[in-house]
Amino acid sequence: MSNSWPKIWGRNREIFSNDLCSLNILEVLKGGVCSYHNHKAKHNLFYVLSGKLKLHTELGDTILEPGQNFTILAGTKHNFEGLEQTKAIEIMYVQYDVNDIQRDTIGHLEVNGVLTESAALPTPFVKRYYTTEEGVDIFLHDEIENDFLTAAREGCENITINGNNYSLVKE
């Protein structure tokens, strides 16, 4: 069940809300303007579904059309104005640490009875994997993928496990 509030500028329909974020559908009337305000801790992301929305900030103005989005950081004074009848998604959220995970177990993949674990990989997460000519899967994450691809382009072939990172070394 969502909450909905009529506003002088249109309507705000809350889809989801908790202590960290909220998701709203804004229906902004042509000529409708919300109050000029800021948030101490919340960032605002606006994504326009239909119509045209003008965002006024202390840093300047931005006009959004369908499929476009814009984020206003916490502490930035802002308001919005419907340049035409507009429907937009507003996501308000607080900043969080993407590396806040503490693992008790490791993820794995089992295919045809063969178990592959990602225990040797550091966080945040495994992004992609590649298979060597010998059929060995190499699992990569953001931090080492560029190094791997650079080494591969330079003709390196062998993989050495060095600490928690995979690296390629020339013979």
The residues spanned by each domain of the chain are: 3-93, 108-169
On the question of pLDDT at 165 being above 90, the answer is: no
Superfamily of 3-93 according to CATH: Jelly Rolls (2.60.120.10)
Q: Tell me: the pLDDT tens digits for 129-160?
A: 444 444 444 444 444 455 555 555 555 544 44
Q: Tell me: the pLDDT tens digits for 103-130?
A: 666 665 666 666 555 544 444 434 444 4
pLDDT: is 41 or 112 the higher one? 41
Average pLDDT in the chain: 75
- What DSSP line would sit under 16-65, residue for residue? EE-SSEEEEEEEE-TT-BPPPB--SS-EEEEEEEES-EEEEETTEEEEE-
pTM of the predicted structure, to 2 decimals = 0.59
